[in-house]
Amino acid sequence: MGFTVLAQSASYTDPDNSIVFQGYTDPVHSVTYGVVFPPLASNSTEFIGEIVAPIANAWVGLTLGGAMIDSLLLVAWPNGNSIVSSPRYASDYVQPVWYSGPTLTTLPSSKVNATHWKWVFRCQNCTVWNGGSIDLSGAPTWAWAVSTVPVVTPSDANSTFVEHTDFGFWGEIVANAHASASDYSTWASGGTVTPTSTTSVASSTTSSSATSTATGTPYDYVIVGAGPGGIITADRLSQAGKKVLLLERGGPSTGETGGTDNAGWCNGTEVTKFDVPGLFESMFTDPNSWYWCKDITVFAGCLLGGGTSINGALYWLPTDSDFSTANGWPSAWVNHQPYTAMLSARLPSTDHPSTDGQRYLEQSATVVAQLLAPQGYRNITINSDTNSKDSVYGNSAFDFIDGKRGGPVATYFQTAKARSNFVYKDYVMVSNVVRNGSTITGVQTNDTSLGPNGIVPLTKNGRVILSAGSYGSPRILFQSGIGPADMIAVVAGNAAAAARLPTPANYINLPVGENVSDNPSINLVFTHPTIDAYDNWADVWTDPRVADANQYLKDQSGVFAGASPKLNFWRSYTGTDNKQRHIQGTVRPGAASVNTTYPYNASEIFTITTYLSQGITSRGRIGINAALTGLPLVNPWFTDPVDKSTLITAINDLLTTVGDVPGLTLITPDNKTTIADYVNNYDPGTLDSNHWVGSNSIGADSTVGVVDVNTKVFGTDNLFIVDASIIPALPMGNPHGALMSMAEQAAAKILALAGGP
């Protein structure tokens, strides 16, 4: 397997001060880092640097040694209209302390305005530090860190601050960062020099033509996004002997992939936040949530594994109706069973993930079983009877393996990376495909090591597969001149992105971002005296119950071997429009929020989340704003009133037997609120289940779909999509099982399609 090569810096000129920097722009946070050194022959120990950051970045750090430990760290933040900065050093993963020796001088072109802050500085005695130095004639790895949380005392250069919310790396070509003695002297004193040329900084906004001739190392298949769709497709294509490059914009996740984000109680082990199933709830409360994409307004995973590395891992093998023509699939997709069998063979499900075979924290499942049984529900092993989804319940099933997160990262990715014809690179951001009319010739990245200007080329008859997710893949299409006119117009209004658009005559009008669906979800909170709410999962990251933590570390058994869901159920309804819809319920100890007039014991709360499932008729739309941030344009919940009335009926039915379960009390909503009022007044911001599908729907033609029966984008010769965005309608359960079965089938169809490499 090829190793990751970092994005490289490039020369650019700051128009405010005419300084020619060698720098890099992080494409996610849009922070630019630049430096320039005196002539190499001078053996100087100083440089001039700058950090230009959107105001959302409360503080920004630069590490000159490429790591936090034993490296000179420069940290800066805005304070009113001025910049505060300090040199720092850390000998362990603790708060960096002031480092004596360097002298930082803020230069006149520094500024703070309504949108950005800029720190331009002279750093003297900064090329050598305790334990390290800058290779002045090389291309060392440097690292950046950002935080959206302000420092404790902004006016104090020695202020403490919480851990960064994100970080990353790039290759700083210091060898190309040396100015003439006269220019450097002028800049260091705050003066300007008339530039001889202006070039652009290396980033996702590097200027290039969308019809550039791509050169560099070519691949048969370039797959953009290492989520479930991308990983499974990459594994199957490389298994077939194709030369495959898999690109991921984020970094490692689990321990076996190089991840290091572990809880304090896991120190000394290789298990990270993403390995331990019982840490799932902490994904949403961790102040250092670097793993969420920062340029998408809903939860999306920007790391190896994508959503499968940060979700609850509920794993439902697809029903036959999931891939039916009634659910929007072409008839050629109906026979999903061979591909689902392939998935199940690689990734079996379990409803007892603890390595000792026992189930833990099951009180809520026991109580809800008593609620459902009088209503005629049957208890089944859900993945052993996949087509039974009416008045059934069973223990929650997952794709955990040996008490740890499994999914495609632990299976398909491991077999792919063992092959010499497979290359994986992380921290690579793809902005658009490079195309000549209908033919894709490569992809535009922020990594100049992959080819001139960061363009990755294809072999003869090569193909590109987008697997960047329901928000990421549409954004790449928009920036490639593919999609509705209004979204391409947004791209055209962004100077950097506009430079990469093809000519308007080559735009491809497709319904990208439309037909979007997501499960509307309503939480019901109960109390029962037998429940252990597990402290509402609040302390699992920082202060877990000692016995449970020790049990997990010993042999991956116990409470932490499972995620919070404990039981699931389904029921079918016929709406007033005579269309069939399903509801799904998920039961877990604890609650995200409680709103009640009742006194209650917080240690006895549990939640039933009710979802409207397969058969939803409401649809929404997603797109981008002027900053190219992915976001919903039209929310997809309850645009058809029959969806809402069906869910209200289902919740009322569910509650009919509450009185049959001694000690069971519904506290949210309480008895002063009707279910209709509760649903009608439910905060739209919390209806989101984050099961987004349909934004690049498969369809019969370009009027109703974005991709054809082979997942090829209409109007193109060699561009494909394999991710949740092509799923035309929601499946019966949480979608990642159906998504992975779809990826198996898509890979087979792509390989079988004539004209490929």
Query: Catalytic site residues?
Result: 691
Helix, strand or coil for residue 223?
Answer: strand
Residue 251 β-bridge partners: 303
* Tokens at 627, concatenated: 């900053």
CA dihedral 525, 526, 530, 532 (to 10 degrees): 20
Give the count of beta carbons closer than 10 Å to the beta carbon of residue 692. Answer: 27
Q: Distance from CA of residue 752 to its chain's centroid?
A: 30
Taking the C-alpha atoms of residue 392 and residue 590, their distance in angstroms, rounded to an integer, is: 23
- One DSSP character per residue, 509-550 reads ---TT-SBB---EEEEEEE-TT---GGGGTTTTTS--HHHHH
What separation in angstroms does the CA of 369 have from each of 122, 366, 377, 569, 651? 67, 5, 9, 9, 16
If 0-12 CB within 10 Å is exposed, 13-18 middle and 19+ buried, where does residue 256 land? Answer: middle
The 3-class secondary structure across 148-210, one letter per residue, is: CCCCCCCCCCCCCCCCCCEEEEEECCHHHCECCHHHHHHHHCCCCCCCCCCCCCECCCCCCCC
Taking the C-alpha atoms of residue 286 and residue 722, their distance in angstroms, rounded to an integer, is: 30
Which phi and psi (to 5°) does residue 518 adopt? -155, 145
Helices then strands, counting H and E runs in the chain, come out as 13, 31
Residue 508 β-bridge partners: 482
Nearest to 146 by CA among 50, 24, 35, 61: 61
* Tokens at 581, concatenated: 């819809």
DSSP class of 699: -
The answer to whether 682 and 425 are in contact (CB under 8 A) is no
Taking the C-alpha atoms of residue 490 and residue 368, their distance in angstroms, rounded to an integer, is: 49
